[in-house]
Amino acid sequence: MNEISEIKEYAKRNSIPIVMDKGGEFICQTIRERGCKKILEIGSAIGYSSINFANISPDIYVRTIEIDIDRYSRAVDNIRNCGLEDRIKITNEDALDAKVDEKFDLIFIDAAKAQYEKFFEKYKHNLSENGVIITDNLFFHGMVENPELTHNYSTIKLLRKIRKFVSFLQLNPEFKTTINNIGDGVSLSMLNPDFIQPEFKAVTESADEKIAREIKYGHKIYSVLENGKNTGIFSYYKKEDYLVIGLADFFDRDRIEITLRNMLMLVRKDAIANSMHLIKIKLPPEYRFDGIKESGLKPETDGFYIHKL
């Protein structure tokens, strides 16, 4: 029996949840077809999935997080025994508190089901532009569609949360999601290229066309975040004769700096990646930077106004 088979048998004997065969095959096939090189796994268990992912290609790097110390320790041993400690980085921590600075081609969420929506919202910012987020166990052994199969109160509560998460995926305009009848129910979500942040949409419908043209694609910056390639603006609305730029909606409040040259440059130390990202806004001649107005805003944290001459 090889290492991966032994890990699978150990999980079965000790009632440790691992991805079902068909679900695992679907994820591995997705990795192959999309050429994924960097993978983030939320919920390592004993390392079964991350080892399978890394075994697909020697070019694949896996970052995986496990909260349970016993499972983490077993996963560390399994990864070492498979000779993959150089390509699988595992940490023992709560994924909701973990600091992950990288972008990934595939994010696999397979941890506490009740926290799926929080995991999704936290780690969607770590998704590469063409990446996918996969979640497992959306059918939860058939109980999601057939809740009468259980009378356990805790399980019933969990089923409600899973149904709520499935609804969240299906109604989320920022992503295009398919729910696949594979294994125990597997979702695949990818960024919707046509998605426009509500704040952006409201202003493009009311602001002057010159400004709107300059920042037409600003909503995509948040997903891309590539050094030197970002042009646009995140969040703003028209107020009397000012365009208000609201950075705090999307950025950590203590990480924003503002400088001004011939064009306005917002320089931000990204809370996700330890690098500086430039977001450039070219102002039409009838607009000028007008500093902070008396509204409780702090220049180093909250935003600024652009004044229309």
β-strands 186-191, 242-246: how paired?
Answer: unpaired
For residue 276, give both structure tokens: 């500086």
For residue 79, give both structure tokens: 């990864």
CB contact burial 249-275 (16+ within 10 A = b; e otherwise): eebeeeebebeeeeebebebebebbee
Interatomic CA distance for residues 203 and 225, integer angstroms: 22
E-strand stretches of the chain: 38-42, 61-66, 88-92, 104-109, 127-135, 175-180, 186-191, 230-231, 236-239, 242-246, 256-260, 264-269, 276-281, 287-289, 303-308
Residue 295 has pLDDT above 50, yes or no: no
Q: State the CATH class of domain 198-308.
A: mainly beta
For residue 108, give both structure tokens: 């696999």
CB contact burial 105-130 (16+ within 10 A = b; e otherwise): bbbbbbbbbebbbebbebbbbbbbee
Domain boundaries, the chain: 3-191, 198-308
For residue range 205-260, what is the model confidence (pLDDT) as tens digits?
433 343 333 333 333 333 322 333 333 333 333 333 333 333 322 333 233 333 22
CATH superfamily of 3-191: Vaccinia Virus protein VP39 (3.40.50.150)
Put simply, whether the predicted model's pTM sits higher than 0.75 gets the answer: no
For residue range 124-157, what is the model confidence (pLDDT) as tens digits?
989 998 999 999 888 876 677 777 677 777 777 8
Give the closest residue to 112 by CA, choosing from 82, 68, 152: 68
For residue 68, give both structure tokens: 């349970």
Helix or strand run (H / E) with residue 309: none
> Could you tell me which residues are beta bridge partners of residue 266?
258, 279
Give the closest residue to 132 by CA, choosing from 217, 225, 40: 40
Mean per-residue pLDDT over the chain, rounded: 70
Residue pair 75/66 in contact by the 8 Å Cβ criterion: yes
Residue 8 has pLDDT above 60, yes or no: yes
